[in-house]
Chains A and B, each alone.
Chain A
Amino acid sequence: MTVFTLDVRGVTKRFGDDAAGVEAVRGVSLAVKPGEIVLIMGPSGSGKTTLLSMMGALLKPTEGSIHLDGIEISALSERRLPDIRLRQFGFIFQDFNLLSALTVLENVSIVAELGGLARRPARVKATALLSDLGLGERLDFLPEKLSGGEKQRVAIARALVNDPALILADEPTANLDSKIGHEVMNLLRRIAKDQGRSVVIVSHDQRIRDVADRVLWLADGRFTDVVTMATDPICSMSVERERAVSAERDGETFFFCSRGCREEFLGGLVPWARSGHEFAGWPRIAAALFARRHAASGGRGRGHEPTRRPSG
């Protein structure tokens, strides 16, 4: 049986009871596996933020249920929700939402303290996290002295400090320039894949598709399109499985950005694609080609699971 970190079942959110009431989310279902990155996209007013608020236990659904690690959080009383939010969720916001009066270290350690850690271990843990994220030299800085990317990394450290199962990110790259946005995206990817945490991102940013495992399109409160992402084994680009050209090899299906890549794949041996990005045994030409294209793509798209799946 598949274990889901988050399981949203037929959730509806209605604001107002009378005829003028609005259904922001309508019968939405979604299951997120451990280590999976789900990107929810959609136009403004489509219900993305409402859905994210419900997934984060900040808002109760009118109908349906939300389960986190097997617990129906949508049925919990308000009294129990703060603990769930503190320990099970990590929130990342577009506006960073750091506490302006506290230093970088304090912004992270205060959440650990609220989570039950004593002051000293909370600071030690926060320091380690921030150092891992390259902020070891900024511990005593106030948020106003940080760049946008640094602020978002502090927010990510804060989201991780209580070891949550699920990270909920609301437009995490919206206030960042392209380069920093990529850094943050790859950081989220690393968190999901290395630490096995599930990540749900709500965003308009098309670039995030590169790191997502699944892309869901929300319109008028409903999912209207589901796209599963894969990485082209030749050029490393992110491709939508449903729209990509594919090829089968040894009972597995691979996806490509173009016929050219597919031809290259079929024409040469790319054993790395089946052995977890190992380069051993890869023909020299294919390796050189990959290196060139990978550099040209700015490093995007690294880290998707090799785009194979058992055929049939």
Chain B
Amino acid sequence: MSATLLLARRNLGRNRCRLVASVGGVALALTLTLALDAIYAGVANQLTTYIDRAGADVWVAQAGVRNLHMVASWLADSVTDEVRAVPGVAGVTSILYSTDTIAARDERAVAYVIGLPADPSIGGPWNVVEGSDRVARGEITIDRGFARKAGVSIGDSVTVLGGEARIVGLSEGTANLLNSVAFVSFDDFRATRGGAPVVSFVLVRVVPDASPEAVAAAIERQVPSVTAQSRADFSAQERRFVMDMSADVISIMNVIGFVVGLAVVALTVYVATLARRREYGVLKALGARNTALYRVVSAQAALSVALGFLVALAVTGVIVLVVPRTGLGLELSISAASLAKVGLFAIVIAALAAILPVRQVSSLDPAVVFRRGTAI
């Protein structure tokens, strides 16, 4: 360890309160940013759960529709057969889709409502923990979390799409912070739309070894007025859409986290430098160059931020583990991109925080050693 790093480490370690304030401040600021990213990444992952778990290799929608959230997609009934006829398609299931409110007793919640055919090969609930995974007319499968909250169970009724439906199944993994997924019969759903011969999406399974992207492209070539995307592309579009919607909030919170972190580190490093101003003067008088002192100050800032970053990682890790077990329906996820971003934040914070004290050190008169002070 170099002399300057040793001095920086000791300067930090000698004043525990200042160290805790500095590291704690950075950790708090970076945790804020990391946790927010983790929440949004988790929510985005959950939002695409239906797309990811429905079993479709290719999603066919009305032309121009590239995601599920907050959209309406209407395709003529005939599109189903046209898609089925495209080479590479192994099977199709048409669904109806809408965002609606499910109400039971005093509880109301937003849900993606999926209208399923009587015997769907894909598109239905993937983890029914109680009851049936098939829905007939007048029936519904809902998320167990909502059922618990509303105090309803199998056999009870909920209000959906302007009518009543009897609960026949409870599923898990079908809820997120914003909404859950509910499954009703295709015929009931169509009836609420006046019986129009339309579907929302055609879910496609491709033949073994076929490329979903190639099949999607073939569908778009052969079937007019549709947009076909592989599951991966559709899911990515959905995630991007949700993230774009919340980008401003994330940016604001990132800026707040950055400013808080910067202010805390800059202040503590500045105060620490101020407190040891005389000692830096002594080092200067003894022959230390300004660059050596800059290294001490910069190393102090870097150490504070590095420790803060590690603490922030640990705290966020704990949050990621604990929050999903609280029943909030929240799933958090730390991404590599988020880590890189926060790491970059930390480096910039350390660099900026060192500027002010460095200026102070460079202007320090070494003759300060001859002024009388407290004997050390």
Q: Out of A91, A98, A100, name the residue touching B14 (CB < 8 Å).
A: A100
Q: Out of A83, A97, A111, A122, name the residue touching B278 (CB < 8 Å).
A: A97
A residues near B289, Cβ cutoff 8 Å: 82
CB of B10 within 8 Å of the partner chain:
yes
CB of A29 within 8 Å of the partner chain:
no
Between A52, A113, A158, the greatest number of chain B beta carbons within 10 A of the residue's beta carbon is seen for: A113
A residues near B366, Cβ cutoff 8 Å: 58, 85
**Given A101-B10, A101-B11, A119-B1, A114:B279 Cβ within 8 A:** no
Size of chain A's interface in residues, with CB distance under 8 A?
41
Docked Cα-Cα span, A289 to B7, in Å, equals 54
CB of A130 within 8 Å of the partner chain:
no
Q: Are B374 and A95 in contact (CB under 8 A)?
A: yes
Docked Cα-Cα span, A99 to B11, in Å, equals 9
Docked Cα-Cα span, A49 to B366, in Å, equals 13
**Given A59-B367, A101-B14, A119-B1, A114:B278 Cβ within 8 A:** no
Q: Are B286 and A58 in contact (CB under 8 A)?
A: no
**Given A113-B3, A143-B376, A100:B279 Cβ within 8 A:** yes
**Given A111-B286, A114-B286, A95:B3 Cβ within 8 A:** no
Docked Cα-Cα span, A59 to B369, in Å, equals 12
CB of A115 within 8 Å of the partner chain:
yes
Q: Are B375 and A151 in contact (CB under 8 A)?
A: yes
In A27-72, the 8 Å CB interface with B consists of 49, 52-53, 56, 58-59
B residues near A49, Cβ cutoff 8 Å: 370
Q: Are A158 and B287 in contact (CB under 8 A)?
A: no
B residues near A144, Cβ cutoff 8 Å: 376
- The residue of chain B having its C-beta at the shortest distance from the C-beta of A152 within the complex is B375
Q: Are A175 and B286 in contact (CB under 8 A)?
A: no
CB of B21 within 8 Å of the partner chain:
no
Q: Out of B3, B284, B369, B375, name the residue touching A148 (CB < 8 Å).
A: B375
In B8-61, the 8 Å CB interface with A consists of 10-11, 13-14
CB of B217 within 8 Å of the partner chain:
no
Docked Cα-Cα span, A83 to B286, in Å, equals 9
Between B283, B285, B373, B374, the greatest number of chain A beta carbons within 10 A of the residue's beta carbon is seen for: B285
**Given A52-B370, A85-B287, A119-B1, A95:B376 Cβ within 8 A:** yes
CB of B2 within 8 Å of the partner chain:
yes
| Distance between B79 CB and nearest chain A CB, rounded to angstroms | 75
CB of A106 within 8 Å of the partner chain:
yes
Q: Are B370 and A98 in contact (CB under 8 A)?
A: no
Docked Cα-Cα span, A83 to B372, in Å, equals 25
Docked Cα-Cα span, A52 to B278, in Å, equals 18
Dominant SS at the B interface? helix
CB of A86 within 8 Å of the partner chain:
yes
- The residue of chain B having its C-beta at the shortest distance from the C-beta of A142 within the complex is B14
Q: Are A91 and B279 in contact (CB under 8 A)?
A: no
CB of B109 within 8 Å of the partner chain:
no
**Given A97-B278, A101-B7, A91:B375 Cβ within 8 A:** no
A residues near B374, Cβ cutoff 8 Å: 95
| Distance between B62 CB and nearest chain A CB, rounded to angstroms | 69
A residues near B376, Cβ cutoff 8 Å: 95-100, 143-144, 151
Q: Are B287 and A87 in contact (CB under 8 A)?
A: yes
Q: Are B367 and A53 in contact (CB under 8 A)?
A: yes
B residues near A98, Cβ cutoff 8 Å: 376
Docked Cα-Cα span, A49 to B284, in Å, equals 17
Q: Are A115 and B375 in contact (CB under 8 A)?
A: no
Docked Cα-Cα span, A98 to B373, in Å, equals 12
CB of A240 within 8 Å of the partner chain:
no
| Distance between A4 CB and nearest chain B CB, rounded to angstroms | 22
Docked Cα-Cα span, A87 to B283, in Å, equals 13
CB of B288 within 8 Å of the partner chain:
yes
B residues near A86, Cβ cutoff 8 Å: 286-288
A residues near B367, Cβ cutoff 8 Å: 53, 58-59
- The residue of chain A having its C-beta at the shortest distance from the C-beta of B370 within the complex is A49
What mask results when residues 94 to 129 of chain B are scored 1 for a CB within 8 Å of chain A, else 0? 000000000000000000000000000000000000
B residues near A58, Cβ cutoff 8 Å: 285, 366-367, 369-370
CB of A170 within 8 Å of the partner chain:
yes
Docked Cα-Cα span, A106 to B11, in Å, equals 13
B residues near A102, Cβ cutoff 8 Å: 6-7, 10
Q: Are B287 and A113 in contact (CB under 8 A)?
A: no
A residues near B279, Cβ cutoff 8 Å: 97, 99-100
What mask results when residues 99 to 142 of chain A are scored 1 for a CB within 8 Å of chain B, else 0? 11110001001110111000100100000000000000000000
CB of B282 within 8 Å of the partner chain:
yes
| Distance between B7 CB and nearest chain A CB, rounded to angstroms | 7
CB of A253 within 8 Å of the partner chain:
no
A residues near B2, Cβ cutoff 8 Å: 113, 119
| Distance between A307 CB and nearest chain B CB, rounded to angstroms | 34
In A175-189, the 8 Å CB interface with B consists of 175
In B252-294, the 8 Å CB interface with A consists of 276, 278-279, 282-289, 292
Q: Are A114 and B6 in contact (CB under 8 A)?
A: no
Between A52, A91, A99, the greatest number of chain B beta carbons within 10 A of the residue's beta carbon is seen for: A99
| Distance between B365 CB and nearest chain A CB, rounded to angstroms | 8
Q: Out of A53, A100, A101, A115, name the residue touching B287 (CB < 8 Å).
A: A115
Q: Are A82 and B287 in contact (CB under 8 A)?
A: yes
**Given A85-B287, A151-B375, A114:B10 Cβ within 8 A:** no
Docked Cα-Cα span, A93 to B285, in Å, equals 11
Q: Are A99 and B13 in contact (CB under 8 A)?
A: no
CB of A94 within 8 Å of the partner chain:
yes
Docked Cα-Cα span, A270 to B13, in Å, equals 61
**Given A99-B279, A102-B10, A151-B375, A114:B369 Cβ within 8 A:** no
B residues near A115, Cβ cutoff 8 Å: 287
Docked Cα-Cα span, A101 to B11, in Å, equals 6
- The residue of chain B having its C-beta at the shortest distance from the C-beta of A164 within the complex is B287
7 cross-chain pairs, A with B, having the tightest CB-CB distances, nearest first: A86-B287, A85-B287, A101-B10, A113-B3, A101-B14, A95-B375, A97-B282
Instruction: Taking A114-B288, A148-B375 as given, write out 14 further A-B residue pairs in contact, using a Cβ cutoff of 8 Å, ordered by the A residue number.
Output: A52-B370, A53-B370, A58-B285, A84-B287, A85-B285, A91-B369, A94-B372, A95-B373, A95-B375, A99-B7, A101-B7, A106-B6, A110-B6, A122-B3
7 intermolecular pairs with C-beta atoms under 8 Å apart:
A58-B370, A83-B287, A94-B375, A102-B10, A106-B6, A110-B3, A148-B375
